[in-house]
């Protein structure tokens, strides 16, 4: 079981390291995720809902040369699980009255 998880993680690391696009029809990726899912369920002894885990992740990548109004990466009513959010913003110039916020959660303003 542990070997299956390690093997799957190595395959997925290649995707991350080379910044490869995740395509829905990618047979290698689908097989790897399926093997990892099966191994995790055996390890946990209960069904694992990968869909819920994926939905709990937030990733935002924004670029702007000029911001004159409001630019917000993610604005949620609730806080996601710790470590589940990644916001990357590249901003040239924020003009007077402009505002850039990477992430806002829990209704805080």
pLDDT single digits (tens) 10-53: 888 888 888 777 777 888 888 888 888 888 888 888 888 877 76
* 102: exposed, middle or buried (Cβ count in 10 Å: 0-12, 13-18, 19+): middle
Contact 8, 36 (CB under 8 A): yes
Mean pLDDT score of the chain: 82
pLDDT of the residue at 75: 80
Q: Is 0.85 surpassed by the pTM of this model?
A: no
- Name every residue whose Cβ is closer than 8 Å to that of residue 50 and which is 6 or more positions away in sequence: 33, 37
């Amino acid at each position: 079981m542990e070997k299956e998880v390690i093997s799957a993680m190595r395959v997925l690391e290649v995707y991350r390291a080379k910044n490869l696009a995740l395509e829905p029809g990618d047979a290698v990726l689908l097989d790897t995720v399926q093997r990892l899912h099966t191994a995790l369920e055996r390890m946990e002894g209960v069904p694992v809902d990968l869909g819920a885990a994926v939905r709990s992740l937030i990733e935002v990548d924004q670029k702007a040369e000029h911001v004159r109004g409001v630019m917000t990466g993610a604005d949620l009513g609730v806080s996601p699980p710790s470590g589940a959010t990644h916001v990357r913003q590249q901003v040239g110039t924020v003009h007077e009255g402009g505002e850039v916020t990477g992430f806002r959660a829990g209704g805080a303003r």
